Chains A and B, each alone.
Chain A
Amino acid sequence: MSDRLKIFLLLLPALLVIVGLFFGGLLIGLMRSFNYMPVIGLTEPNLQAYAAIFTEEEFYYSFLLSVHISFTSTVISCILAVGAALLLRRAFIGRDIINFLFQLNLTVPHLVGAIGILYLFSQSGSFARLAAEFGMIARPADFPALVFDPYAIGIILQYVWKEVPFIGVIVLANMQAMGEDYESVARSLGASKWQSFRYVLLPLIFPGLMSASVIVFAFTFGAYEIPALLGANYPAALPVLAYRKYTDVDLAARPEAMALAILIAVMSAVMIYIYIRYARRRLRG
């Protein structure tokens, strides 16, 4: 058997699944977003669904909300993750506990974390009860709205809780693979702690940090259950809006749902492009 045939046969099942399901799903979604469905006699593609979305005020609020959720939670998670990784690369008593908790947290489904955040930060949650205990508030309504709120604070808190360990583990693996030689050299040449971090360590871990944050950004941008559970009703995050339109009793809303799904996919494609750029650069460097 020639190598080419062998490679083809080895890849065939995986490609069938990914092309068939993933790209097939994407393609059908794209066709339906253009109102193109030959099976039921719709053979003239048009842009009605997109026009409907782009003239709707809620879409812009939803889009901004989703970008805000992804951007804010990715940036906060990255900063905390780098801090945690810096902490964890040193040997000290108690490091194993944090390492274990990091990994435990990776295995906890997002939904469980979200419910935990709900029970902690809601107006009758644990923190509100503590505030009442110390006489800071009298009624649950006095506690600031941190979940179901317009700024998506609860959603961001949940993502930060879940993604700091994810990014942290990847950054830590990067740091450990690199060793401390580069920084020692920088320090011995007179660089301050901050300088050796900013000009030596950070550029070295940056590609890994970047690819991890791309995964986190794309995930948080397209995830449904967290904003569905912790988000305000209006505006809803894009995936929630898409699901609502798809399950709307009015079947005419379905192409609009598909159009939203395609916009989410386009956003992720941009993310993949950035990811590949940084991953490739890292391989070369």
Chain B
Amino acid sequence: MIGQDGLWTQTFRYLTCLVLVIWLVLPLIPLAIWSFARGWFFPDILPRVWTLDAWDYAMSDTSGVLDSLWLTIGISLAATALSILIGVPAGRALGMYKFRGKEVVEMMILAPMIVPGIAVALGIHSVFIWLGLTNTVQGVILVHLIPTLPYMTLVMAGIFSNYDPAFEAQARSLGASPLKTFWYVTLPAILPGIIVGGLFAFLVSWSQYILTLLIGGGRVVTLPLLLFNFATSGRNDITGAIGMIYILPGIFILLLTAKQLSGRSAAVGGFGRL
């Protein structure tokens, strides 16, 4: 601690904090209110009639919100699983070995994190048309790998750079098979990284809009597409309800990872690692 804080500094600090807290939650409030409102017209500060209609509609079979929810969960889970399968070995190579051309490989893996989706998605769309992958769930899952895989690989490279392969050698010399060595020695050591990287990958896939819109051709209707459609068609109450459903996984994941995300975690530090 540097110096003694005066009363003025203290007051200033609490005021800024208050402003910051309000600003951080503010945009979510009208969204939440709208989901319980009926005909909330200008200039009413709060709705005159509160109702569960929007939620009833969102949960009904006819709205397609629930179908969309399951579809979005499925796509994000599949993209996450593939990212783990592909990203863990790549992270091991980058974290544990020095080799010629490593910088080039690092840059290639970093590039999709920075180059916006639309820049590559138009070209991919042309190819996917030939491959018959447009307008399909498989095509959407595949294209989601572009933003999710770099996160996974980055987090795993961070984990593997602090990993000692001597334990594996020891297990092997004691007669364990490669599979057993992986299961009992490697996996427990890298599991925290897989969980954090996987949750990141899930959220990144969960938030995709333009990649899904282009490759899914409007046929693969994930939650963000549905949300966008309702928002632009002026159905504010249903938009509010879908918006609330759409942020749930993030809150859930946050409750699971609150510790890993704070401070000096591999995941956050990973952004500056490459």
Does B114 contact A3, Cβ atoms closer than 8 Å?
A: no
Q: Is B93 an interface residue (CB 8 A)?
A: yes
Partner of A229, one of B26, B42, B142, B231: B231
Partner of B31, one of A10, A116, A174: A116
How does the 8 Å CB contact mask read for B234-263 relative to A, with 1 for contact and 0 for none? 001001000100110111011000100111
Q: Is A72 an interface residue (CB 8 A)?
A: no
> Shortest Cβ distance from B232 into chain A, in angstroms?
7
Contact A120 B112, CB 8 Å, known A29-B120, A129-B44: no
Contacts of A215 in B (CB 8 A): 113-114, 271
Measured between alpha carbons, how far is A265 from B122 in the docked complex, in Å? Answer: 12
Instruction: Point out which of A132, A184, A268 has the most chain B C-beta atoms below 10 A from its C-beta.
Output: A268
> Shortest Cβ distance from A85 into chain B, in angstroms?
11
Contacts of A4 in B (CB 8 A): 99
Contacts of B89 in A (CB 8 A): 9-11, 13-14
Contacts of A180 in B (CB 8 A): 1-2
- Interface stretch (choices A45-53, A57-65, A238-246): A238-246
Contacts of B126 in A (CB 8 A): 28-29, 32
Contacts of B92 in A (CB 8 A): 10
Measured between alpha carbons, how far is A64 from B214 in the docked complex, in Å? Answer: 25
Does A7 contact B93, Cβ atoms closer than 8 Å?
A: yes
Contacts of A158 in B (CB 8 A): 27
Q: How many residues of B contact A (CB 8 A)?
A: 96
A interface residue numbers (CB < 8 A to B)? 3-4, 6-7, 9-11, 13-15, 17-19, 21-30, 32, 39, 83-84, 87, 90, 92, 94, 97-113, 115-120, 124-126, 128-130, 132-133, 140, 158, 161, 165, 169-170, 172-174, 176-177, 180, 183-184, 187, 193, 196, 207-208, 211-212, 214-215, 218-219, 221-225, 228-229, 239, 242-243, 246, 257-258, 261-262, 264-265, 268-269, 271-272, 275-276, 279, 282
B interface residue numbers (CB < 8 A to A)? 1-3, 13-14, 16-17, 20-21, 23-31, 34, 42-45, 85-87, 89-90, 92-94, 97, 99, 105, 107-127, 130, 142-143, 145-146, 149-150, 153, 203, 206-207, 209-210, 214, 224, 227-228, 231-232, 236, 239, 243, 246-247, 249-251, 253-254, 258, 261-265, 268-269, 271-274
